[in-house]
Amino acid sequence: MAEIVGGVFTSHVPAIGGAIARGLQGDPYWKPFFDGFHPVHRWLKTARPDMVVLFYNDHGLNFFLDKMPTFAVGAAGQYHNADEGWGLPVMQPFPGAQDLSWHIIEHLVASEFDITTCQKMAIDHAVTVPLALAWPGANNRPVKIVPIAINTVQHPLPSPRRCLALGRAVHEALRSWPGAHRIAVFGTGGLSHQLDGERAGFINKEYDRFCLDHLGPDPDALCDRSAIDIVELAGSQGVEILNWIAARGALGPDVREVSRNYHIPISNTAAATMLLETSAAFSRAA
């Protein structure tokens, strides 16, 4: 039976990928952010996941405003990266956990989620940057992935509560997966930021800390507001917290916080990293 070992939640700013490519991890501007991944690296060496289910938002490689699914699940054998125009190196493909993808898809449909199934899916910086942060090295591919895209761009947006329910349905699917695998869950994006318009550069430290404080022990508290409320609180791109909420649901009810890091700003973004361990993992460690 598969084991869900824990979750990594982190920002996916394209500039982070540029810093990795230029070797700027020790630069004073970047070091406070990259230092937040030292506990994640130590934990991953112990937890040893071989599959990652990753909740993110697509930035135009697969979907644009004319066709934007609310939820889309990758079911490919491998996932190719492509040039997005940020000047980031195009990364080698990531292997897909195809059997697990179909298991999740079947469970979600049976749970009455109307999802888009993608047997071919390109991945952008929202996937490649977090994986490169977790496992440094341009060609380091220690895990197979299942990418799950959430619409955080085209209104109407899914509600936070619906995203949490999606994650909890994924948790049910993972718990019923018969393979003897160790699965980590990633949630990427945010925290508060707005890249354009009159509020460009907007950051809300109070709301960010509320999210960090409640994500582990009380994720339902993040669902008391609508997606539109979150846009107001966190900025038009800060609504990417929906990815974190869904990923938190996929971990199950009982988690403990292993580490967190919060740094302002990274490219006009409140950058954060949080590591949560599941009850099964910390019970085994005890």
- The full set of domain ranges for the chain reads 3-266
The closest alpha carbon to 32, from 261, 217, 195, 282, belongs to: 261
| pLDDT at residue number 284 | 56
| pLDDT at residue number 281 | 65
| The token pair that represents 104 in the structure block | 């999740």
| pLDDT at residue number 97 | 97
| pLDDT at residue number 170 | 98
Environment class of residue 157 by beta-carbon count within 10 Å: exposed (0-12), middle (13-18) or buried (19+)? buried
Environment class of residue 145 by beta-carbon count within 10 Å: exposed (0-12), middle (13-18) or buried (19+)? buried
Q: What's the pTM?
A: 0.95
Gap between the terminal Cα atoms of the chain: 21
Token pair 């066709």 in the structure block, residue: 67
Buried b (16+ CB within 10 A) or exposed e, 75-91: bbebbebeebeeebeeb
Across the chain, which has 286 residues, the per-10-residue mean pLDDT values are 94 91 93 96 96 94 90 97 81 94 98 96 94 89 96 95 98 93 96 86 94 97 95 92 98 96 90 92 56
Architecture of domain 3-266: 3-Layer(aba) Sandwich (3.40)
Determine how β-strand 269-278 pairs with β-strand 78-81: unpaired
Environment class of residue 156 by beta-carbon count within 10 Å: exposed (0-12), middle (13-18) or buried (19+)? exposed
What are the catalytic residues?
Answer: 125, 193
